[in-house]
Amino acid sequence: MLPTWGVGTRTPTRCRNNGPVASATTEVAPRPTAARPNLVSVGTIVWLSSELMFFAALFAMYFTIRAVDKGMGKAWPQAHLDLPLATVNTLVLLLSSVTCQMGVFAVERGQIGRVRSVWDPRGWGLREWYILTFLMGLYFDCGQGWEWLSLIGDQHVTLSSSNYGSVFYITEGFHGLHVAGGLIAFLFLLGRTFAAKRFTHEQQVSAIVVSYYWHFVDVVWIGLYTTIYLIH
């Protein structure tokens, strides 16, 4: 009678004299363990969701005051906005999102610094891409500040001059503060790349989390740019 084979059982194999010669075992493949989500990334996504609600409230405030003023026959916008400057700032901020993601790709392959000439972006690492992203974000905030100085000095549009001035500076101001917060995060992260002898997995996660925040800031600005500069 032939022996019966079972999964995960040990069945001896016998020779003609019925003596045991060898034993064969069929191993059961271990079940793959479920990967636990990174708590830092999950926490960042939850926090950005709350920030999204905050900016949604700012958008609601803007459109409410706009409807009230237009219902009273007031002009909207009540200032001559520099659309070319705002467009250039927008393009720079959008490109900074691209350079930020290039830095993420670099850190995912374990490349912190450049491996080629500084003039050859193909060899750039996380450090070079994030430095460029920081400079582009700084340019955006400076460009926004320049427009504000023009509105205050030339057109006398201030936070307390009108309803329009209030919602304009509040919405753009909070976004500018978020950009400044991102710049501080870039500086902190870049400092760690220079100070740390070894870039750990936790630091790599920090670099990726900063990119989440920066992409969020860019998406919010697209909505603000469309609302403030294009919809009249």
Name which of 210, 11, 225 is nearest 100 in CA terms. 210
- Mean pLDDT score of the chain: 85
- pLDDT for the residue numbered 197: 72
State the Cα angle at 146 between 143 and 150, rounded to 5°.
140
Q: Can you tell me the mean pLDDT for 107-123?
A: 86
Q: Band the pLDDT of 37: cuts 50, 70, 90.
A: low
Q: Band the pLDDT of 118: cuts 50, 70, 90.
A: confident
The model carries a pTM of: 0.79
Q: Can you tell me the mean pLDDT for 89-108?
A: 96
pLDDT at position 14 over 50 = no
Instruction: Give the Cβ contact number of residue 152 at 10 Å.
Output: 15
As a CATH number, domain 40-45+80-230 is 1.20.120.80
Can you give the residue ranges of every domain in the chain? 40-45+80-230
Structure tokens at 161: 């001059």
| pLDDT digit string, tens, across residues 175-226 | 999 999 999 999 999 998 888 777 788 888 889 999 999 999 999 999 999 9
Name which of 49, 68, 83, 99 is nearest 164 in CA terms. 68
